[in-house]
Structure 1
Amino acid sequence: MTTITAARPATGTARQSHVVADSVTMLRRNLLHLVRYPGLTVFTIGGPVVFLLLFVYVFGGTLGAGLPGVDAAGGREAYLAYVMPGILLITIAGSAGGAATTVSMDMTQGITARFRSMAISRAAVLTGHVLGNTIQALIAIVVVLAVGLLIGFRPTADAAEWLAAAAMLTLISYAISWLAVGMGMQAKSVETASNLPFLLIFLPFLGSGFVPTGSMPAWMEWFAQYQPFTPFIETLRGLLLGTPLGWYPVLAIGWCVVIAVAGYVWSMLIYERKSVR
């Protein structure tokens, strides 16, 4: 564990510097966890890669042929392009399990209680988990995207669109990480914490990640259209493949703000409540 021996400063500017310094220290601690426990990163990458290969090579020919404007001959190639944004979102959702697990381990093993007794910014303790998990998610995204490119994914994005897509992926990863931290702190055990984020993995399936929402029953189509992962997926699809964006980027950014703020408030409320015990 990284040793922290800072006194809490009194002035506003010094206090902000203290929070930043503590956040960097806690980030280093969580990045060391990635190195010492690579299984979480391997699981985060392995699951989406298996989904990608399964859907493209087993179901891709049939599902791709059912996409608008696609004939049977080009079904698999078209489906690879269609499904890739959803796979990237599953990668982010899968990384939430690692964040929830590590937070829960710190809570149940008394490490967080020790941090609360030290001169460490309370926000920094949680921010370290969030930033560490965001970096882990981005590493996993790069690897999964590389696999997609190797098997034939050919985005049409220019440099500006690639930068916008990278920014969107980072923002989504950051927001989901705050939600995962809240799940990890709320969970009563490490096992529960590792299972809760799996609910997020199903949302791309219940959105536009794998089939057009118009092919769903009316009640499911309504849910698919208004849940957060559909704007995420359609924004990435528009940036990488040139499909119409419409209001999807605005909705995606709005959902990121809502999820991040809700996750932050939820996490801090639990942290503060347990601090007074």
Structure 2
Amino acid sequence: MTTITTTRPTTSDTRRQSHVVADAVTMLRRNLLHIVRYPGLTVFVIGAPVVFLLLFVYVFGGTLGAGLPGVDLAGGRAAYVAYVMPGILAMTIAGTAGGAATTVAMDMTEGITARFRTMAISRAAVLAGHVLGNTIQALIGVVVVLGVGLLVGFRPSAGPTDWLAALGMIVLIAFAISWLAVAMGMQAKSVENASNLPTPLLLLPFLGSGFVPTDSMPGWMQWFADYQPFTPFIETIRGLLLGTPLDWNPALAIGWCVVIAVAGYAWSMAIYERKSVR
């Protein structure tokens, strides 16, 4: 007779898990206070996408919008507001990476992270606090930029379910980008270097479907635009908010988020562990 045994979590395992969660909450609180005390980073994260939104809508919107399929010259600007808004939201999320990397690099260069390594604090929780704080900052930025978009004529057709799905997608993208940003901040040799490392992320919405359809690009660039992560990010948000075809974009977007988050986590933890044994 075969006896089937099950393994139950021990009391020590439960305490360890609760300890990690408590440490992560403490680190999150610390990073939220840092955001409040240093509002300049948040202002830049929100201000830059707003400037780009106003620039592209009011300066280039009439011409670029008229080039969209099925849009005449007279309705170009209104059509372009709808088209460009998902790309601006993606840019807002990408823009938070610079702030996160800078904050992490400041902790590294000022010895704060080294002090945490000598304390009875979960190593994953130290990094998770940065990630969760940056994710919240990204959501605040998205809400503000979306509000400006509504003021300049953005009119999404999404229902409640679509809005919830779009919110979930935005949170997932912000969470993944935050892990990558934390790893970049830990890898950087200085605070100045940390602020520059995430810059390519800001370019990806431009080199995707954020501002113009990818089929208007040269062949070699179109291939890159179609397969880089920000294009499915943008097309998923666009489809949920405006009802455009989703196709395989949600699956690709989720897949890219998993890859980016896992890579960022592994990279940052490897650096943390390496510097802990020095």
- 3-state DSSP class of the match of 2:74? helix
Instruction: Tell me the distance in 2 between the aligned counterparts of 1:19 and 1:70.
Output: 53
Alignment match, 1:38: 39
How many angstroms does 1:11 deviate by?
1.2
> Deviation per CA, 1:204-238, whole angstroms, max 9, x where unpaired?
00000000000000000000000000000000000
Q: How many residues align?
A: 269
Alignment match, 1:5: none
Instruction: Tell me the distance in 1 between the aligned counterparts of 2:183 and 2:227.
Output: 23
- 3-state DSSP class of the match of 2:269? helix
Alignment match, 1:3: none
Alignment match, 1:177: 178
* Structure 2 residue 123 is matched with structure 1 residue 122: yes
2:15 maps to a residue whose letter is A
* Structure 2 residue 86 is matched with structure 1 residue 85: yes
* Structure 2 residue 221 is matched with structure 1 residue 230: no
How many angstroms does 1:198 deviate by?
1.2
Alignment match, 1:215: 216
Alignment match, 1:254: 255
How many angstroms does 1:10 deviate by?
8.1
Calculate the TM-score normalised by the size of structure 2: 0.96
Paired-residue identity, % = 81
Instruction: Tell me the distance in 2 between the aligned counterparts of 1:107 and 1:171.
Output: 26
- 3-state DSSP class of the match of 1:73? coil
Matches for 1:95-110 after TM superposition, within 5 Å: 95-110=96-111
2:127 maps to a residue whose letter is L
Alignment match, 2:242: 241
Alignment RMSD (CA, Å): 0.9
2:45 maps to a residue whose letter is T
| Residue segments in structure 2 that go unaligned for 5+ positions in a row | 1-9
Instruction: Tell me the distance in 1 between the aligned counterparts of 2:119 and 2:146.
Output: 41
Alignment match, 1:131: 132
Instruction: Tell me the distance in 1 between the aligned counterparts of 2:266 and 2:253.
Output: 20
Instruction: Tell me the distance in 2 between the aligned counterparts of 1:241 and 1:107.
Output: 42
Alignment match, 2:155: 154
Instruction: Tell me the distance in 2 between the aligned counterparts of 1:232 and 1:45.
Output: 19
1:220 maps to a residue whose letter is M
- 3-state DSSP class of the match of 1:119? coil
Query: Which runs of 4 or more aligned residues in structure 1 lie more than 3 Å from their structure 2 counterparts after TM superposition?
Result: none
- 3-state DSSP class of the match of 1:250? helix
Instruction: Tell me the distance in 1 between the aligned counterparts of 2:173 and 2:52.
Output: 20
Larger Cα-atom Rg: 2
- 3-state DSSP class of the match of 2:252? helix
2:256 maps to a residue whose letter is W
How many angstroms does 1:18 deviate by?
0.3
Instruction: Tell me the distance in 2 between the aligned counterparts of 1:34 and 1:54.
Output: 27
